[in-house]
Structure 1
């Protein structure tokens, strides 16, 4: 390890220093301040603070990208003068030295014509991130979205075997969510349908895909008949797997000849000016309403 690398690892990020200077470095204190700022920025964000694990991951600086857009709004409201990108940069001084916001350049201060919120003009406003491969998505993100859902969860896939295999607690979490009033829809492939055999050939998994679906159904079977959980099967040519958690969504693309874990993932968050989130929801709802059937009515082994 080089001296520069070692130095970078021990340097705190700016956010940690600023919160410590305001006595907000504890999770409880931060959440109280988060809600106060949310009242001013957007009352619908009150109570939407990060999980405890997320918060301390922020302070550690071990982040893949930036927090969700709503968190960014609150952080910038909590720490006026700072851009969220600057908050997650290493702090050059010691932990006791609280920095001031960088001075804005004249060019940045000047009024500019209205532009889309996105970084690039052609990037959808409801797009949070793009992962080149499903395997690149942080494991914690799947759990954060699942545990953070308060109203609706939709799991739409052929197998979705990776979710309970990588996260053994996921099935119990889904049960608990249903008990707490979250409306849950699960839509998996019917292994008896020709479309599943065809997809196995297309992905070069052959009969392995049907086997994975049967294994997934064994994992998800305890959710059948639970109040608040509607569990159906489908026999469609699935173009994407859709995992929706309230107003956020992970979309696993399907590419001919490519395994699902290698294909890209879109992370979307519903936005008033965007329609990509709604486009995927329309597709999910169309299959749900016109092609899906209750798992208890299917020919799969019970």
Structure 2
């Protein structure tokens, strides 16, 4: 079969990586930056030299393409395996000359990524849309643990209600509720950011804390022990609610946007234990909880 040198071969020559041993070392280094499972998965010597000579009928599998694109930033796999000819620039075209701007979902680096959405299960454009699609009863009924950190925790204290919370606790559920401290510096800063009358969010938060503390006083001793209430006074970035160590609801606080109008993201813990968004936001909750003050 006739061979045709590839762009890849000439780029590797520039970096003195045209020998298989040196190439594999560089391959593993690049793999470690994108997916450690790809380390050690470089091409055999025979395959490597087929790549350089263009003796191929199709592109390598996506894992190889991802690593090659990490090794040679700005080049796509299609460009790397194109035939080399005089006049081909040895600098990457960060965007194909014949194409306009592309959405991220059209980029090879995204298309070929195996778990493009990590453990993200759903996205809603607002909290209103989220609660319409997933009412609190759907999210919380039957739960055995609920951890929630945010500002006033309206989803639990107002939309779900103290009777429903009491039923959860009596059924054995453990609740960890973390409110932004009323009258604290952080809640005052958020009131200013939303353009609200000073004290508006503080009064709402005080009401919700009072509701949960009153509920705790009405519960049996066993149920009351499962209701934990804390407050914190730190810049608020997210409302985080974790149900049954399985589902994490994340709602950001954005500048000049009311909480109801902010998007909502749902991440489900990966069954294979792979670290994802669920683990990141669970870690944020646990860190805040350790610093918060019990009530």
The bucket for the TM-score relative to the shorter chain is 0.5 to 0.7
- TM-score (structure 1 length as normaliser): 0.53
Structure 1 equivalent of residue 250 of structure 2: 251
Structure 2 equivalent of residue 146 of structure 1: 140
Q: What secondary structure does 2:282 align onto?
A: helix
Per-residue CA deviation, residues 88-123 of structure 1 (Å, 9 max, x unaligned), is xxxxxxxxxxxxxxxxxxxxxxxx978xxx998463
Structure 1 equivalent of residue 294 of structure 2: 294
Q: What secondary structure does 1:255 align onto?
A: coil
Per-residue CA deviation, residues 248-287 of structure 1 (Å, 9 max, x unaligned), is 1211111011110000100111112242111111111111
Give, in whole Å, the separation in 2 of the partners of 1:217 and 1:154. 15
Structure 1 equivalent of residue 265 of structure 2: 266
Give, in whole Å, the separation in 1 of the partners of 2:238 and 2:188. 17
Q: What secondary structure does 1:273 align onto?
A: coil
- Which sections of structure 2, spanning at least 5 residues, go unmatched? 1-60, 64-109, 218-223
- Asked if the contact 1:186–1:231 (Cα under 8 Å) also holds between the matched residues in 2, the reply is yes
The 1:120–1:234 alpha-carbon spacing in structure 2 relative to 1, beyond 3 Å, is farther
- 1:166 lines up with 2:163 in the alignment: no
State which structure, 1 or 2, has the greater radius of gyration over its C-alpha atoms.
2
Give, in whole Å, the separation in 1 of the partners of 2:242 and 2:197. 28
Cα drift, residue 218 of structure 1:
3.1
Q: What secondary structure does 1:288 align onto?
A: helix
Give, in whole Å, the separation in 2 of the partners of 1:235 and 1:190. 5
Structure 1 equivalent of residue 123 of structure 2: 130
Structure 2 equivalent of residue 156 of structure 1: 149
Q: What secondary structure does 1:128 align onto?
A: strand
- TM-score (structure 2 length as normaliser): 0.55
The 1:175–1:204 alpha-carbon spacing in structure 2 relative to 1, beyond 3 Å, is same
Structure 2 equivalent of residue 299 of structure 1: none
Cα drift, residue 182 of structure 1:
1.9
Per-residue CA deviation, residues 1-40 of structure 1 (Å, 9 max, x unaligned), is xxxxxxxxxxxxxxxxxxxxxxxxxxxxxxxxxxxxxxxx
Structure 2 equivalent of residue 238 of structure 1: 236
The 1:141–1:257 alpha-carbon spacing in structure 2 relative to 1, beyond 3 Å, is same
- Which sections of structure 1, spanning at least 5 residues, go unmatched? 1-111, 296-302
Cα drift, residue 159 of structure 1:
0.4
The 1:224–1:294 alpha-carbon spacing in structure 2 relative to 1, beyond 3 Å, is farther
Q: What secondary structure does 2:162 align onto?
A: helix
Give, in whole Å, the separation in 1 of the partners of 2:153 and 2:122. 21
Give, in whole Å, the separation in 2 of the partners of 1:156 and 1:219. 16
Structure 2 equivalent of residue 55 of structure 1: none
Per-residue CA deviation, residues 143-197 of structure 1 (Å, 9 max, x unaligned), is 11211313x2112111022543334xx3222222222222210111111311111
CA RMSD of aligned residues (A): 2.5
Structure 1 equivalent of residue 10 of structure 2: none
Structure 1 equivalent of residue 226 of structure 2: 228
